[in-house]
Chain A
């Protein structure tokens, strides 16, 4: 396809397709001498093709800039093999690194500053002392939370608070302090007659699978 005769015989769809292909090949640097001659013939009757080529080239370069940034991120992600088992890596992925960057350090710091209640009810370190409970309306948030944990542990509904908090967002403030939004995790206990678990199929899809409670019972009793 490199002469006027052929160009004029083409349907509008084919002509538009050829135009797209020629522009694309020029951008990719893969245009053959024949392509260039077709391009010149096209440009002789349709001067706008030069503007389209220039726009397409600029857009391609802008997209390459994005891909360059993505590449930089990808180059920093290695397989988990070097740092222990996949499961250790998975645990790291699903907890701390999901929130990214120095949020991981903030989790550790929060554990230090806020103190935690142990999973062992006998080792509560911020729970209220019996006989010294302030009325709920007058209690500070920490005191009220402590009362909830204490009451829950007494009734058996609360097992305890997890020692680590999950940081959702960290925001450096103008005065040099840092605002940290985080989750305190409380483990509660319930009795259920039906349960499901989340599993992943071979393509990475999340699927929900019912748990056979009868089988669990028989395993426990074995």
Chain B
């Protein structure tokens, strides 16, 4: 099945209760759902668990969507709420349980147990520190199948606004990383000076 996110998804049939149509819609949207989850979930929350919760909520509540054109914004709202509420809940519950037994959890990277390059981790950290209105479109644009138009549809914003936010978000990302790199270099420089002084003494 072509997993490109496109306009031909049978959203109306899915809302009407046809399970095959709903499955097709889910396959078409689950990648951008994952992106929204990454943009909003707490760091420790597991992406796969949250995706399963969104899938469940889609099954339970899709019939309540009154207008097919509102399906994508509705799904985005559901996804953000699950990312924040359930993600925080699961994280707190697990952390609390481990704390009760005097243990702290090894912190995973932000998308579960996937191994990411140092560059990717660093850029992801910076991207997640962007203000929300820039974070989501910048991450969504990295899904090669999503055009500005499609991102605009999900975020219920004009296409020109999306392009501006992506362009500005990318600049902010660049500045954040530049700043981080400078700070790291300065810290290393200071540490080097201190070691040299101790060595000299």
Binding site for B on A (CB under 8 A): 17, 20-21, 23-25, 27-28, 52, 55-56, 58-60, 62-67, 69-82, 86, 89-90, 93, 97-100, 168-169, 181, 183, 200, 202-206
Interface residues on B, range: 35 or more
> Which chain B positions have C-beta within 8 A of A72?
114
Contacts A100-B49, A206-B89 given; indicate if A67 touches B35 (C-beta within 8 A).
Answer: yes
Q: Is the CB of A204 within 8 A of B81?
A: yes
> Which chain B positions have C-beta within 8 A of A100?
46, 48-49
> Which chain A positions have C-beta within 8 A of B55?
77-80
- Cα A72 to Cα B164 in complex, Å, equals 29
Q: Is the CB of A59 within 8 A of B98?
A: no
> Which chain B positions have C-beta within 8 A of A206?
85-86, 89
**Which residue of A55, A69, A77, A200 contacts B52 across the interface (Cβ within 8 Å)?**
A77
Interface of B, secondary structure class, is helix
- Cα A164 to Cα B179 in complex, Å, equals 51
- Cα A25 to Cα B114 in complex, Å, equals 30
> Which chain B positions have C-beta within 8 A of A78?
23, 26-27, 55
B83 to chain A: closest residue by CB: A204
B138 to chain A: closest residue by CB: A63
Residues B76-102 near A (CB distance < 8 A): 77-78, 81-82, 85-86, 89-90, 94, 97-98, 101
Q: Is the CB of B123 within 8 A of A93?
A: no
Q: Is the CB of B124 within 8 A of A74?
A: no
Contacts A23-B167, A62-B122, A93-B49 given; indicate if A204 touches B57 (C-beta within 8 A).
Answer: yes
- Cα A31 to Cα B82 in complex, Å, equals 37
